[in-house]
Structure 1
Amino acid sequence: MIVQDVIDHLHDLAPLAYAEDFDNVGLLVGDKKQTVSGVLVTLDTLEAVVDEAIKSNCNLIVSFHPIIFKGLKKLTGKTYVERVVIKAIQNNIAIFSIHTALDNALNGVNSIICDQLGLKKKSILIPQSGTIKKLQTYVPKENADNLREALFNSGAGTIGNYESCSFNLEGKGTYLGNENSNPVVGEKGKLQTEEETLISVTFKKHLESQILNTLFKAHPYEEVAYEITTLENTNQHIGIGMIGELENAMDEKDCLEYIKNKMNTEAIRHSKFLNKPIKKIAVLGGSGSFAINAAKSAGAELFVTADLKYHDFFTAENNILLADIGHYESEQFTKTFLVDYLSKKITNFAIILSKTNTNPVKYL
Structure 2
Amino acid sequence: MKQQIMMNDVFKIIEDLAPKSLAYEWDNVGLQIGSANKPVKKIMITLDVLERVVDEAIEKDVNLIIAHHPLLFKPLKQVNYDSPSGRILQKLIKYDITVYAAHTNLDVASGGVNDTLCSVLDLQSRRVLLDEKAKKLLKLAIYVPNTHEEQVREAISEAGAGHIGEYSHCTFKTQGQGTFKPLDGTNPFIGTKGKLEYVDEVKLETIVPEGILSAVLKEMEKAHPYEEVAYDIFPLENEGDRIGIGRIGELDRTMTLEEFCKMIKVKLEVSQLRVTGDLSKPVKTVAVLGGSGEKYIHQAKKKGADVYITGDMTFHTAQDAWQMGLAVIDPGHYMEKVMKQSVKAYLEEKLHDVNIILSNTNTDPFQFI
| Same-fold status (TM-score > 0.5) | yes
User: Who is 2:244 aligned against?
Assistant: 239
User: Who is 1:40 aligned against?
Assistant: 44
Within 1, Cα distance between the matches of 2:258 and 2:340? Answer: 29
Within 2, Cα distance between the matches of 1:234 and 1:342? Answer: 25
Gaps (5+ residues) in structure 2? Answer: 141-151, 173-204, 221-228
| TM-aligned CA deviation for residue 343 of structure 1 | 2.4
* Structure 1 range deviating more: 91-100 or 13-22: 13-22
State whether residues 131 and 230 of structure 1, in contact with CA within 8 Å, keep that contact through their aligned partners in structure 2.
no
Within 2, Cα distance between the matches of 1:59 and 1:28? Answer: 13
User: Who is 2:79 aligned against?
Assistant: 75
Q: 1:272 aligns with which of 264, 274, 277?
A: 277
CA 1:38–1:163: 2 relative to 1, 3 Å: same
Q: 1:257 aligns with which of 245, 253, 262?
A: 262
CA 1:163–1:342: 2 relative to 1, 3 Å: closer
* SS of match in other structure, 1:332: helix
User: Who is 1:106 aligned against?
Assistant: 110
Gaps (5+ residues) in structure 1? Answer: 137-148, 168-199
User: Who is 2:327 aligned against?
Assistant: 321
| TM-aligned CA deviation for residue 55 of structure 1 | 1.5
CA RMSD in angstroms comes to 3.7
TM-score by length of 2: 0.74
Superposed, which structure 2 residues align to 1:5-24 within 5 Å?
5-24=9-28
Within 2, Cα distance between the matches of 1:20 and 1:307? Answer: 19
| TM-aligned CA deviation for residue 65 of structure 1 | 0.9
Within 2, Cα distance between the matches of 1:342 and 1:202? Answer: 24
| TM-aligned CA deviation for residue 207 of structure 1 | 5.7
Within 1, Cα distance between the matches of 2:124 and 2:248? Answer: 9
User: Who is 2:306 aligned against?
Assistant: 301
CA 1:358–1:211: 2 relative to 1, 3 Å: closer
Query: Could you tell me which amino acid in structure 2 is paired with residue 294 of structure 1?
Result: Q
CA 1:89–1:230: 2 relative to 1, 3 Å: farther
Count the aligned residue pairs.
Answer: 323
* Structure 1 range deviating more: 256-265 or 58-67: 256-265
State whether residues 274 and 318 of structure 1, in contact with CA within 8 Å, keep that contact through their aligned partners in structure 2.
no
User: Who is 2:188 aligned against?
Assistant: none
CA 1:357–1:133: 2 relative to 1, 3 Å: same
* SS of match in other structure, 1:128: strand
Within 1, Cα distance between the matches of 2:343 and 2:168? Answer: 27
* SS of match in other structure, 1:333: helix
Within 1, Cα distance between the matches of 2:24 and 2:79? Answer: 26
Within 1, Cα distance between the matches of 2:237 and 2:132? Answer: 13
CA 1:22–1:348: 2 relative to 1, 3 Å: same
Identity %: 36
